[in-house]
Amino acid sequence: MLVLGIETTCDETAAAVVRRDDTGLGEILSNVVLSQIAEHAAFGGVVPEIAARAHVEVLDRVIATAMKEAKTEFSALAGIAAAAGPGLIGGVIVGLTTAKAIALVAEKPLVAVNHLEAHALTGRLTDGASFPFCLFLASGGHTQIVAVLDVGRYERLGTTLDDAIGEAFDKTGKLLGLPYPGGPEVERRATQGDGARFTLPRPMLGRAEPDFSLSGLKTALRLEAEKIAPVSDQDVADLCASFQQAIVDVVSDRVSAGLRLFRERYGGPTALVAAGGVAANQAIRRALNRVAIASGTVLIVPPPALCTDNGAMIAWAGAERLARGMTDTLAASPRARWPLDMRVSTAGR
């Protein structure tokens, strides 16, 4: 089964073709991602109107390139998948409308994919993760611990009460005057700094429920920076290292709590799977590996290019759904918000 996947929920315009065989194994035939970082850099963050306009201008070419690299035609596809949310609604509309047009003309099934579900299932594409597994999903807009029981069956065990981890990284970078996007810059500067120099809080540490809260940590970092202003390059590196170490400690504790809750409800998970852009952070990856070993399971993390937004994860989620007979009509709606739990993610399907 060949599936075309389209991703336009934020500031990456992406398309990919993925093959899923009868045994459930996947292969990426093409994966084209066009970033809009340059368009948004001057604003220090993603501007929704600019993002939507950029998707309109380049999506046709991105899809054509993905199809050419996969050496296939629309007639050979089993279905067309597009991220239908959650995300910036203008961009979501662009991708979903394009997918509907292709599905209509090519007479192929449409799959309106939950962007979070696509992240959740990427570990099955890259590493063949089997159900049930525990997912740590961390990106600029989402921080969740989820029990992934099957395709379309998810239970959210923990979430953030305020900022997402990726958002906290990006805002820290902006606060310290680092180039956009701030998250990768904070990680880079942290390798040059002293993580023990500044005493920052570890919110929610030790609590039984596996939830996160990051706004207090972000505020504490700002206060420390103000105390020593103007900051030198070494000050910035030390602030980044201290911030990242606090995040690592929080993630280790919160994910451990999530794994304990998973075991109470479902028994041992087959794996701890990390997904989302934050999963590309090497310090967090090392911490998650220690957590997985301590709890008697294994860590699965897709390659960095498949942790950030991409079309291959959308295509794969579409293939997984198509294999189970889950398709959508052309009336499928774009959604700015779309929680990943079984009561909502299957609604209207």
> When comparing pLDDT for 40 and 349, which is higher?
40
> DSSP letters of 6-69?
EE-SSSEEEEEEEEE-TTS-EEEEEEEEEE-HHHHGGGTS--HHHHHHHHHHHHHHHHHHHHHH
- The yes-or-no verdict on residue 281 having pLDDT over 60 is yes
- The yes-or-no verdict on residue 223 having pLDDT over 90 is yes
Phi, psi for 29 (deg, rounded to 5): -90, -30
Q: Mean pLDDT, the chain, as a whole number?
A: 94
- The yes-or-no verdict on residue 76 having pLDDT over 60 is yes
What pLDDT score was predicted for residue 344? Answer: 34
What pLDDT score was predicted for residue 253? Answer: 98
What pLDDT score was predicted for residue 343? Answer: 40
CB distance 172 to 221 below 8 Å: yes
Whole-number Å distance between alpha carbons of 158 and 255: 9
What pLDDT score was predicted for residue 42? Answer: 67
Q: Mean pLDDT, to the nearest integer, of 169-179?
A: 94
Whole-number Å distance between alpha carbons of 182 and 185: 5
Domains assigned to the chain: 2-123+306-345 (3.30.420.40), 131-304 (3.30.420.40)
What's the pLDDT tens digit per position in 291-345? 999 999 999 999 999 999 999 999 999 999 999 999 999 999 999 999 887 443 3
Long-range pairs, 265-269, Cβ under 8 A, ≥24: 265/147, 265/155, 266/132, 266/147, 266/149, 268/296, 268/297, 269/132, 269/133, 269/134, 269/147, 269/297
Range with the lowest mean pLDDT among 11-15, 154-158, 190-194, 340-344? Answer: 340-344
What pLDDT score was predicted for residue 347? Answer: 33
pLDDT band of 49, cuts 50, 70, 90? confident
CB distance 145 to 255 below 8 Å: yes
Phi, psi for 42 (deg, rounded to 5): -65, -20
pLDDT band of 25, cuts 50, 70, 90? very high
Range with the lowest mean pLDDT among 2-6, 271-275, 328-332, 343-347? Answer: 343-347
- The yes-or-no verdict on residue 119 having pLDDT over 70 is yes
Report pTM. 0.92
